[in-house]
Amino acid sequence: MLYHSTLVFSLVDIAPRTIFELTALTTIFLVSAMVNAQVYGQFSVLSEVLNRKSGEFQETFDLTNTAMLNLDIPTGLQNEVRTFILNTNMLREQ
């Protein structure tokens, strides 16, 4: 399809010669453009959802770090809590 569309646009080898060919080609290109728009739209929605989840986790992680610092929790215990939170998040994403 890409090969034929390139040739049609460049008018080198293939060009619609009749009204039927022109109509069919226009219909195919319009449907193809709509499918591409749908695919790109789905990818952008998926990307937005993943970014939102990542942002929510980062916010929770920052709040946890701030709370541990404000409560003067020992550094070793803070590291264990951070490791636990990171491991829990990784397991949840799988």
pLDDT score, position 3: 54
pLDDT score, position 42: 93
Taking the domains of the chain in order of start, what are their residue ranges? 2-93
Residues of the chain with pLDDT under 50: none
pTM: 0.51
Residues 29 and 5: beta-carbon distance below 8 Å: yes
pLDDT score, position 38: 93
pLDDT score, position 24: 87
Interatomic CA distance for residues 61 and 17, integer angstroms: 63
Interatomic CA distance for residues 39 and 46, integer angstroms: 11
